[in-house]
Amino acid sequence: MKDFYIAHEDEIKAGKTTDVYFIRTRKILEEKGIHKKVFADISTTSLPKGWKWGVLAGVEEVAKLLEGHPVNVYSMPEGTIFHPYEPVMQIEGYYKEFGIFETALLGMLSQASGIATAALRVKIAAKFKPVYSFGIRHMHPAIAPMIDRSAFIGGCDGVSGVLGAEMIGEKPVGTMPHALILTVGDQVRAWKYFDEVMPENVPRVALVDTLYDEKLEALMAAEALGEKLAAVRLDTPSSRRGNFKRIVEEVRWELDLRGYEHVKIFLSGGLDEESLRELADVADAFGVGGSIASAKPVDFSLDIVEVEGKPLTKRGKLSGRKQVYRCENGHYHRVPAEKKLEKCPLCGARVEPLLKPLIENGEIVAELPKAREIREYVLEQAKKFGLTLD
């Protein structure tokens, strides 16, 4: 018997995390000798909170899930900006060979894309200043690495999770908890102990809102650590904040007045894209938790659009194979697959097809880039196409 209510990799790959009606469907198809090849689109008709765009994530996991099965898969590269009604992935094969994986693959794409999209929105709200993902405590630890990876590729500059950072080839980032200061019993001693024990490559970021006023503790930290102090972190609870922006401005003023211009201001605690719009100009870096880690998933669905080579789908969907083209200026065009575009119908710029081979007859044929490469691709798109939060 398991100690934790989690699925292991072999159980996911065996289809045990599927919805039961997919098992029943496969049984019916097998017993009735129905062996039809289908073509399916994965897309969404809307995004959480009315967002206009999303960041595709989870592609690598889907590739590993379907590897070895007799299917062809076409996908937008992981990290690609997408919109509602655009297929982000397509699967071709005999339905009974891949149908039981619909639940798992949709979950992989939906949650990861929701987190990655939220991360990029936060990054944009912060005016591309450093943002770190501190939110794995809000979700089940079994998926902490997935959360960290999705947050990182969405634009976060680092993640706090030890295993999550390790799995994407990064170093975990973090400061110090209130627990350290309370256990030591004195802020100054806690800050000095941190400096004495931690290696030099760990930035000295002092938490300055545990017992006294933020301005006072910030000055105490600056006096205690001097040039070693990289930043002060304000994690002030909402019940004590009042006008948080004003508090931050006061801390900055007092530090500068006393010659501590080198000390950065790091904010955390309940931050989201709305609060960051207000705080981006007064702070230097941000630690963001639940608004990224527990972001609402993208409501992807898998829909058959072709059966035995003939266009066929359910009501409310568009039948037939499709391609999505994007031009150099960021215009997207969804067209029937047989319609080849070379130039953008809107601006005449060069276009490229976004749906590319990922798996051919069970073999992964596309490059699966590292998390840092995907992150760079995401940020490049955000800046090149001028993505906004409206």
User: What global pTM score does this model have?
Assistant: 0.97
What's at 105, amino acid-wise?
Answer: L
What mean pLDDT, rounded, does the chain reach? 97
Q: For strands 264-268 and 229-234, give the pairing.
A: parallel
Residues 339 and 247 in one domain: no
CB 296 within 8 A of CB 48: yes
Q: Is residue 147 part of a domain?
A: no
Q: For strands 285-288 and 264-268, give the pairing.
A: parallel
Domain edge (last residue) among 293, 323, 344: 293
- pLDDT tens, position by position, 40-99: 999 999 999 999 999 999 999 999 999 999 999 999 999 999 999 999 999 999 999 999
Residues 278 and 216 in one domain: yes
Q: Is residue 128 part of a domain?
A: no
What's at 34, amino acid-wise?
Answer: I
Res 241: pLDDT: 61
CATH code for the domain of 111: 3.20.140.10
Residues 313 and 357 in one domain: yes
Q: Is residue 300 part of a domain?
A: yes
DSSP string, 166-205: HHTT--------HHHHHHHT-HHHHHHHHHHHS-TTS-EE
Domain edge (last residue) among 246, 267, 293: 293
Q: Is residue 142 part of a domain?
A: no
Domain that holds residue 310: 9-115+296-384
- pLDDT tens, position by position, 337-347: 999 999 999 99
Q: Is residue 68 part of a domain?
A: yes
Q: Is residue 280 part of a domain?
A: yes
CATH code for the domain of 261: 3.20.20.70
Residues 302 and 248 in one domain: no
Structurally, the chain folds into a number of domains equal to 2
Res 237: pLDDT: 61
Judged against a pLDDT cut of 90, whether residue 242 lies above it is answered with no
Q: Is residue 377 part of a domain?
A: yes
Res 239: pLDDT: 55
Q: Is residue 168 part of a domain?
A: no
What does each C-alpha distance from 316 to 46, 82, 207, 233, 335 come to in angstroms?
Answer: 13, 20, 53, 50, 17
